[in-house]
Every structure is written in C-alpha cells, then in structure tokens.
Structure 1
Amino acid sequence: MATNRLLRTAGTVLTATALLLSGCSSGDSSPGAAASGQPTNGRTGSADTMPEAATATIKPLPTAVPAALRPYYGQKLTWRECGIVGFECTTMKAPLDYAKPSTATDLKLAVSRKKATGPGSRIGSLMVNPGGPGGSAIDYLQQYAPQPDAVRARYDMVAMDPRGVARSEPVTCLSSAQMDGYTRVDQTPDSDAEVDRLTSALRDFTRGCRARTGARLGHVSTAESARDMDVLRAVLGDDKLTYVGASYGTFLGATYAGLFPSRVGRLVLDGATDPSLPARTMNRDQTAGFNTAFTAFAKDCAKQRDCPLGTGSPEEAGRRLTALFKQLDARPAPTGSDRTLTESLATSGVTAAMYDEGAWPVLREYLAKAQKGDGSGLLALSDSYYERDPDGTYANQMFANPAVNCLDLPGAFSGPDEVRAALPAFRKASPVFGESFAWAALNCAYWPVKPTGEPHRITAEGAAPILVVGTTRDPATPYPWARALASQLSSATLLTYEGDGHTAYGRGSDCIDTTINTYLLEGTPPPPDKHCT
C-alpha cells in the first residue's frame, strides 16, 4: 500500500518526515512543464530494468514577477497568537494555478512563525520543512524543529504547510474506518485473487481522493509549492530565501533553487533526494536503503541478550523476520483490541523503527511479543507510521503524500505484470522488504490525475552556496542521492554524517550541528566533502 515514513516511533521523535515509497517518488512538476521551467524528456524503461537518470535540467523562471502575480507578492499578512506560547499564525493567499491565477480559486496556505528574540542582530526569516511529502511544517516548527537557541535568536523561524497538507487546503481521500481497512490489505499477494484485492483497494483510494478533493488534486505539485515559498519569502520582506529542508524537503528546497537561483540565500538540504531518478529507480534504491538499515539493526540486535532474531548473521535475522511476517500473513495476531496485527501492519511497524537507531530497543521488545502471539507493540509502531491517533483518526499525510508524488513523476509501474517482472530486482535489493515495497510502488498506476513532472537535474546556476547533507546509512534517502544532488547543484558543498538513521541535523552529532549552525549564522559552508561522526 502507499505507506509513509513518519515523525514518531515508539515515543521517539525523529527529526524529519521521510520520503514515501509510493510508486511516484519525489520529482518536480507543475501544470504546463515548459511554462514553469520544467524539462520535458523524462526517461522510462522496461519493468525488469532500472531506467536511466535524466539529463535535462530544470530552467529558472524569469526574475521579474508577472503582473498577474503581483497582488500575491504584495499582500499583507495579519498575524495572531496561536498554538504554543511565542508563536504567531496567519494565512497567505496563493493561486490555485500559477498559469491562470484567479481570486475565485485562490488557496489559503497556513503559516506560523516565532520571531527572533536575540541576543544578536536579526538576520532574517528561516523557513523549515520536515519532508514527506505531506509532513506539517507548522507542527514541525512548533514541536520538533532542531535549530538551537543561537539560530532561533537570530532568525524569525517560519513554517508554511504546503498546499494540500495539514492546515493548507488538505487533500482528503478516505474516512478513518476506510483507512483502517486500506492499511490492512495484503502487500505481498500470493495469488491472482489477492492481487485483485490489492489493486481494487488502490483504485478505491484514488477514487476517494478525486471525490473528496476535487480540482485541488491537480495542483499540489512540488514546483507549485516552491513557487508558494517564493511568494512567502517576498511577503516576509526577505530578498533571499534561508531554508532548512529535510528528506523530501530537500527536493522542495532544491526545486526552489532551480526555479529562483538568484533568490537563494542559505539553504540546508538534509537527507537529500536525487531529482534526476525515475520513480522505479528511486523506489528500488530506497528498498536497498532499508536493507542497509535492517542489516545495521540486525548486527546490533545480535549483540543484545534480548534479541528475538537470534545471534547469527543479518541474513539469518532476515529469515527469522520473514518467517514472522509469513506467520502473520496466515494468522494475524491479537492485540488486545478489536484490531489484529496483519503482515502488512507488522511490516510498516518494523519499517518505522528503521528511521532512528534510538527505536531499536523498542523494536526488539515488540518483535519478541509478536513471536509470542501479542501484536500490540508492532501495531503501535504501525499506527505511528501511518499517523493514526488513538481515537482512530488519521492525519492528512497519508493522503497528501501520494497526491504530491503521483503528480510529480510518472508511476513506477503501470500494472501488476510490471511489478511481477521487477520483483527479482526488489528482492535482491532487500530479501526482507523487497516484495512489499515493490507492490507498494503500484499505487500511482491508478491515480486519477496525470503526472505533470518528469525526472530532471537541478543545477541552480548562479545560486549562493548551498549545503547538502547525507547520512551514510540513511534508509529512506540513501547516501548516493546526497552525493548526486551535491554534484548537480553548481554551488553545493556536501556534508557527510557517518552513521545510522534518517537525516543528520539535530540528531546528536556535535560536528554536524556546529557545521550547519555556522553556515546558517555566518554563511560559511564547510570545506568540500567534510565528514562527521
């Protein structure tokens, strides 16, 4: 199924919302590709081969603001106190369609800020985005943003929920009860009948998105959100954009740089994605990334007395976990509630814990409980993964994520036959997760809105220095993606974190945090290819 990688695992708060394995991984788009600076020659390949990376480059938009957009750039915001003490909120107008702006269809995008308080002179505004796509930037800012006091003192910290997300004209697809059923559908179909049930669930999901969201579903692309960011930059009174983006937020930030290179200030892109890759390649790369993370978990688990996967090799641990999944496929485990733990829910729960090594002890405990017939722990992890609250309601991220992804890139697969042909490559990438991740990549095949973007490179010629950050054992945004993005951006410097988990900033490395803070406060990037632990 279309599954997201979320902020919380077993009470551990991660620093970023990870990129979705949804069949349409992040890529740039907007209605009318040529008109918005998009390349038009994305590449495809056969189902059992990996398509090549794109060579076309995103083109910047004209520096002059078109007359039809000047009212948006000149609007005045009315701020009010909201949420946590010290934060203000407002709404900003943006055109539904930048090619045909009309006040009759304007969007209202939610914005929040916390003003700089000093000591030290104010530098400007610093926008943040936690990724997803679909993660609430406002929630991230108000609760989890990792910027230290020194950065908060010098910047107005600002967040805008992107169009289609959380408080900003949210995409909606299914009721909570329907989502409960959707998340349980078997992601490793063993028969034609189970494939039919999976594809039927995917089609029902997309029909719900169309019915409940309407025309907005065709206007939630990354390129449009990047253009919204430029409007907000201007409305805030900043000549340049200063920005910290994590996971998918790096693609959003890089897209901004590609469209508006002359307006780039200090950009931190942490847990970077590679915009030149087609969807299937990105999904396969992520599958391998989760295998790397699982190998690290298995090696650590084997050293612990309470390891439920044995003290052997990672391969043996993988076989034991796969056996548990098959057991749950045949007989879902009770959880002490009216919901049982299925194979699909267990897989999402394990996947959630791969994002932060701090969740590994909890995962060991919950795997041991599941082996004894108690699925409550893994179900709790799965609920965090899907952002399902205790009252049974789901956050908007599960809907916004595929809405953005399926608009940004052509789908990874056009139908079940292509998935079947690609299964060997995905199983090779990860014997544990490969099959479920491959079938999860089918959802964009049935999306009700045609994709408007294609793979492309982003060079952002003329932009100020940009800092790209990659983690060597990042499961969701594999380290080669950071190297690729840094090599594309003409002014980028790569900062490497030698470690586990998703993203690096604010996760405990003094070297990483000091380097990024120095860049944000002084504008000085680190030496080329600096490594931290």
Structure 2
Amino acid sequence: MSAPSTVRRSQGREPMGRMPRGRRLAAVGAALAAVLVLSGCVPSFLEQKPPVSTPTGEEVSPELEPFYTQVLEWEPCGDGMGCTTAKAPLDWNDPSAGEIDLAVVRHVASGDKIGSLLVNPGGPGGSGYDFVLDSLDYAVGEPLQERFDVVGFDPRGVGRSSAVACYDAAEMDDYLYGIVPAERGSDEWIEAVGSSAADFGAACADNTGELLPNVDTESAARDMDLLRAILGDEQLNYLGFSYGTFLGASYAELYPDKVGRLVLDGAIDPSASDFEVSKAQSVGFERALDAYLEDCLATEGCPFDGTVDESRDEIGRLLASVDQSPLRGSDGRMVGADTLLTAIIYPLYSADSWPYLSDMLEATMFGDADPALAFADGYNGRNPDGTYLDNSTEAFRAINCLDYTYQSDVAVMREKAEAIAEAAPTIGPYMGYGDLSCVNWPYQSDRERAEIHAEGAAPIMVVGTTGDPATPYEWAVALADQLESGVLVSYEGEGHTAYNKSNSCVNGAVEGYLIEGTVPASDPEC
C-alpha cells in the first residue's frame, strides 16, 4: 500500500496501497515534464563502528543456524553509510532448498544507540534500501537518526535483493500503457485483459524461476526476523509505511515475543479482501479528489468552476472520453482512462502537489496527452528515455498475487465492479476487475485474509490519517482494534501517511515511542 493499486494495461486495480518510489512523491513542474523527487540530505557519519555485525547467537533449528549465525560485513556506500548482503532461505518451509540475497543499507546512530530500526516505505515492491540510502531525512527524523542504526532493506523479490523479473522496457510500456480496443467490462475486454495478465505472469515465471512462488509477505516477515538477529538485536524495532504496515503486523503475528517498538503508519486492514481494498481505495481517492476540487475552486487559475460535484462530474466525463477515444502523446504512447486515472491519483497523495494536478487536467482537457504521461511515468517509475527505475511493478504484482485469493467467475467480477463504481462514481468505474490480474498467475495462493492480533506483543503504534486516499483511516482504526496491544494515533489531515511531515504532534508521538518506549495514554487526535 503504495500509491494505489496501479492499473496494469487497462485492467482492474490490485489490492494494497503502494507508496511510489519509496514515499517520494513526484510532481511535474511548470513545464509538466520534469519529475521532482523529494529526497533528504544525508548527514556524513562515516561507518567506522563496527565493520561487522555480531549476531545475537540465539538458539534456532539446525537447518536455520547457518542463516542466523552469519556475520554481516559492511562496505562503505552512499554518504557515510554501510551496505551489505545477507543470505536468507529461498523457502522458509524448506531451508535446505537454496538461498536468496537480501540487500541491506545502514546509517549508524550518531548518538547514544538504542538499537537498529528497520524501515519499509510501502508497496509491495518499494525499495527500503533506496529509501534510506537516497532519502534518509525523509525516511526518519533527526531524533531517530541519533538514537538508532537506521536500516533499509529490499524485501525478497524487490530491487537489489533477489528480485522478480518479467518484461523488458518495451514490453512493460505495452503492458502499462497499451489500449484494449473493446468496451470495458465486455467479454472481449475481459478476455484481452486476462490474456495480457497471463502472458505477464508467464514471463515472470520464466525470468524469475524458483523465487517467484516465495515472495509472499509472510516469507518477507521471516526475513525481517533473520535481519533482526544477525544485526544483533534481541527484539525488532520497526517503522513501516503503507504496505509496510502489513509486513510489520505479519511479523508481530509470527513473532510476538520478538516485538520491540513497532510503528505502523498508513495502515492496511489485514482482514480486508481484494474487493474490499479496491472499493475502499476507490472511495478514498474520490474523497481526496473532492478535497482537491474544494481547494482548487477557491484558488485563482483553477481549471474548473461551479461546485465540487459539477467539477467532479467534468473529470468523470474526461475519463470516459479518453476511455472511448484515447489521446496520443508526442512519443506515440496513448493516454486512455487507466493511464489518466494513474495521472490523477498520483498527485492526490500529497496536497502540495494539487497545483500540478490542476495543470495536468487543464492540459488534458485541451487534448495534450504529454503531462498525463509524465505523471503516470512518475508513478510507474519510467524514465524519460523509456527505461524503468526498478522492478517495483513486477514485485508489486508477484507479491499481491500470493497474498490474496482470487476467483475467475466473470459474473461475480461484474457484480464487484458495479459495486465499486456505485461507491465511487468517478474513480470506481476504472478500479474494478482486479481478479483478472492474478487469477491466472503461475502460482495460486490459498491464503485467506484474516485479522491479526499478535497476542502477547509489546505495544504497537498504528498511525492513521483521516484524509489518506490510499490507506483509508478506517483501516488504521481496524488494525489498532485487532491488535491486542494496538495503540491508535490519528492525524486529521490530507495525504498518504503522517510521520515526518509537518505535524509535530504525530512526530512527537512516533519518536517518543521509538526512543522512550512510551505510548500515549489515549489517541492524541493530532
């Protein structure tokens, strides 16, 4: 639950909020051509202590002992950080079946060290390695940098770790931006979208091999326990955003006695089905669109006039128009409704990007497809030269297809799509049919979504933003209620996730817990 579940070649949205490019929201500037990446200036604390990490030496089963006793050797990287590679079992159910690589980066505590703090930016598919290496100040505040070794890692299947691989850049372009020449929801459209998804899955199986069925979130949570132990920490301290909250909650369910101080910001409801997630996200982004329009209509230069309802209807007509008659960009790629929706959703993650959304919508209304393509490219991680930044699209699909169950009944798909469209009349018509993404995936999941209680765990802080479009506030309430030791911190505001932005109340609650180990006696309602 990073950025929203992204449209994959005119097909329904998949569950989970994905945080684009590791919480760094890109916006297109005055020319609507250059992507602005939010990144922090990393302090230069040279890695001198220690060159190796000492494992905890805890007792584990004989087949896991080689993994839990490995010694990490750190090499200088970035601006005064250390990088290394850890080994994890390919299959946690059969540790002798092989091993995979986990890429890890660490910024050593600048002051009195409490321990390690693992961070995950969201996804699934977001790079925690890049999150820390490139954007340390955006990932965590200075108080946490002082007291913790801040550790970023790429989960299995992602980025620099043993990774999912599927398509080359040209194939990815066709997959993400291609147009299905059939009426949305028709038998012909469903057949084409399903076939495209099956082809993508087959390519992932061919190019990824035996890793592909082992990139589920539960396996990634077990990897985190391994990292905890070989970093030398008796308990896990963790800060997870968006999908990272599901990863953290899954860890707490597996290892409640190893839970140290966990903060889950922009929470996922682990009991929600793929349909419930798609519906909730549709409503969330529709609400965010209304908030944007209310602000826009009060601002000089807004491309809309009239009421919020009238303006939202105009955007709905624009989406329907490009769905029937896509616009051609200067590079030949087409902007249909799915690409335009991605371009609309992307800047809705942060109110700071709303002015750029106005520029993009105005340009699209005048027939200029390039700004919408620039926004969609920013979300999809596509560079101006046509290459892709990372494998987040492939990892996103592979992990989600293992974390949920999907069904192939077209009649049921249509019922779900109608319900989503009814709940969110502007956004919803393009958020249905998510089952098509994974129903023909090479490895089928039998995992049923269920509540997570983590009985016996230390307090777990859950942060929810009332206007969060990708991970609606209701999910934070649900997760905090499910967790036996859940503590809710609410932030009344707009945007995806709340920590380390501009709210001192949220920052104080999060940092106070991670550093001092104290949680608020009641929801501070920041």
TM interval, short-chain normalised: 0.7 to 0.9
- For 2:506, the equivalent position in structure 1 comes to 512
Q: 1:473 to 1:452 in 2, by over 3 A?
A: same
Pick aligned residue for 1:261 from 243, 247, 256: 256
Q: How does 1:89-128 map to 2 (within 5 A)?
A: 89-102=83-96, 105-118=98-111, 121-128=112-119
Q: How does 1:30-41 map to 2 (within 5 A)?
A: none
By how many angstroms is 1:388 displaced?
0.9
Q: How does 1:393-472 map to 2 (within 5 A)?
A: 393-394=387-388, 395-411=390-406, 413-472=407-466
Bigger relative contact order (CA 8 A; separation at least 6): 1
8 A contact 1:291–1:429 mirrored in 2:
no
By how many angstroms is 1:76 displaced?
0.5
1:123 aligned partner, one-letter code: I
**2:475 is the counterpart of 1:481:** yes
Pick aligned residue for 1:174 from 153, 160, 167: 167
- Cα deviations across residues 402-461 of structure 1 (Å, max 9, x unaligned)? 1111101102x4243322122221012211111211134531112110114221221111
2:134 aligned partner, one-letter code: Q
The SS at the match of 1:128 is strand
The SS at the match of 2:240 is strand
- For 2:123, the equivalent position in structure 1 comes to 132
Separation (CA, whole Å) in 1 of partners of 2:204 and 2:297: 44
8 A contact 1:309–1:321 mirrored in 2:
no
Separation (CA, whole Å) in 2 of partners of 1:5 and 1:369: 26
Separation (CA, whole Å) in 2 of partners of 1:289 and 1:391: 33
8 A contact 1:87–1:112 mirrored in 2:
yes
TM-score, length-normalised on structure 1?
Answer: 0.86
TM-score, length-normalised on structure 2?
Answer: 0.88
- Cα deviations across residues 36-81 of structure 1 (Å, max 9, x unaligned)? xxxxxxxxxxxxxxxxxxxxxxxxxxx9622211111110011101
* Gap runs ≥5 in structure 2: 1-6, 28-34, 40-57
Separation (CA, whole Å) in 2 of partners of 1:356 and 1:328: 25
8 A contact 1:472–1:479 mirrored in 2:
yes
**2:13 is the counterpart of 1:9:** no
8 A contact 2:218–2:247 mirrored in 1:
yes
Separation (CA, whole Å) in 1 of partners of 2:385 and 2:36: 20
By how many angstroms is 1:355 displaced?
0.9
Q: 1:110 to 1:452 in 2, by over 3 A?
A: farther
Q: How does 1:186-225 map to 2 (within 5 A)?
A: 186=179, 189=184, 191-225=186-220
- Cα deviations across residues 101-154 of structure 1 (Å, max 9, x unaligned)? 12x621011111011122xx1111000000100000011112234312221011
8 A contact 2:178–2:334 mirrored in 1:
no
The SS at the match of 1:354 is helix
By how many angstroms is 1:192 displaced?
3.2
2:133 aligned partner, one-letter code: Q
8 A contact 2:74–2:82 mirrored in 1:
yes
Q: 1:353 to 1:440 in 2, by over 3 A?
A: farther
**2:264 is the counterpart of 1:307:** no
The SS at the match of 2:439 is helix
**2:230 is the counterpart of 1:235:** yes
The SS at the match of 1:438 is coil
- For 2:64, the equivalent position in structure 1 comes to 69
By how many angstroms is 1:202 displaced?
1.3
1:90 aligned partner, one-letter code: T
Separation (CA, whole Å) in 2 of partners of 1:354 and 1:270: 18
Pick aligned residue for 1:346 from 337, 340, 348: 340
Q: Percent identity?
A: 42
1:329 aligned partner, one-letter code: D
* Gap runs ≥5 in structure 1: 16-62
By how many angstroms is 1:92 displaced?
0.5
Separation (CA, whole Å) in 2 of partners of 1:12 and 1:513: 24
Pick aligned residue for 1:155 from 148, 166, 179: 148
Separation (CA, whole Å) in 1 of partners of 2:399 and 2:290: 31
Separation (CA, whole Å) in 1 of partners of 2:297 and 2:350: 18
Separation (CA, whole Å) in 2 of partners of 1:321 and 1:440: 23
- For 1:356, the equivalent position in structure 2 comes to 350
8 A contact 2:242–2:497 mirrored in 1:
yes
1:268 aligned partner, one-letter code: V
The SS at the match of 1:294 is helix
Separation (CA, whole Å) in 1 of partners of 2:410 and 2:202: 19
2:26 aligned partner, one-letter code: T
2:473 aligned partner, one-letter code: Y
1:469 aligned partner, one-letter code: V
By how many angstroms is 1:471 displaced?
0.5
Pick aligned residue for 2:496 from 483, 492, 502: 502
- Cα deviations across residues 499-530 of structure 1 (Å, max 9, x unaligned)? 11110011211111111111111111122222
**2:329 is the counterpart of 1:295:** no
By how many angstroms is 1:186 displaced?
4.5
Q: 1:5 to 1:239 in 2, by over 3 A?
A: closer
1:457 aligned partner, one-letter code: E
8 A contact 1:185–1:201 mirrored in 2:
no
